[in-house]
Amino acid sequence: MKLIVTVVGKDQVGIIAKVSANLAELKVNILDISQTILNDKFTMMMSVDLDESFSTITDLKKKLNILETDMHLAIQVYNEEIFNYMHKI
């Protein structure tokens, strides 16, 4: 299952490192990263693959929730299919 992870918040040192480390711990493979500063905010979008991982989408969300609170970020996880369905004919 491919997921889209979005991370938005105040720019600070180590966001990508910490998000990536969390994903690696669950053996979630990163396929693509795009990151920019949008309206003064750090905005990152990751495409990740859950197939090799031992964790479920719920476990992943829980783990990222902790990071979200620690670093004052907004992290969201969506199944990629919803974007494909909505935007591709």
Partner 1 sequence: MNRFEVLETIGMINNEKLDIRTITMGISLFDCADENPVRACEKIYNKIVSKAKDLVRVGEDIENTYGIPIVNKRVSVTPISLVAAASKTDNYTIFAEALDRAAKETGINFIGGFTSLVQKGFLNADRILFNSIAQALSTTERVCASVNVASTQAGINMDAVREMGQIIVETAQLTKDRNAIGCAKLVVFANAVNDNPFMAGAFLGVGEAETVINVGVSGPGVVKAALEEYKGADFETIAEVIKKTAFKITRVGQLVAKEAARRLNTNFGIVDLSLAPTPSIGDSVAHILEEMGVEKCGAPGTTAALMMLNDAVKKGGVMASSSVGGLSGAFIPVSEDLGMIEAVEAGALTLEKLEAMTAVCSVGLDMIAIPGDTTAETISGIMADEMAIGVVNNKTTATRLIPVPGKGVGDFVEFGGLLGRAPIMSVNKFSCNTFISRGGRIPAPLHSLKN
Q: Is 64 exposed, middle or buried (0-12, 13-18, 19+ CB in 10 A)?
A: buried
**With respect to partner 1, which residue has the nearer C-beta, 13 or 89?**
89
Q: Between β-strands 2-9 and 29-38, what pairing exists: parallel, antiparallel or unpaired?
A: unpaired
Closest C-alpha among 14, 40, 13, 22 to residue 5: 22
**Interaction mask 3-42, partner 1, x per CB under 8 A:** -x-x-------------------------x-x--------
Q: Is 71 in the site for partner 1 (CB under 8 A)?
A: no
Nearest to 19 by CA among 31, 5, 32: 5
Taking the complex as a whole, the smallest distance from the CB of residue 15 to partner 1 amounts, in Å, to 17
Q: According to the binding rule CB under 8 A, does residue 87 interact with partner 1?
A: yes
What are the residues binding partner 1 (CB under 8 A)? 4, 6, 32, 34, 45, 47, 57-58, 61, 76-83, 85-87
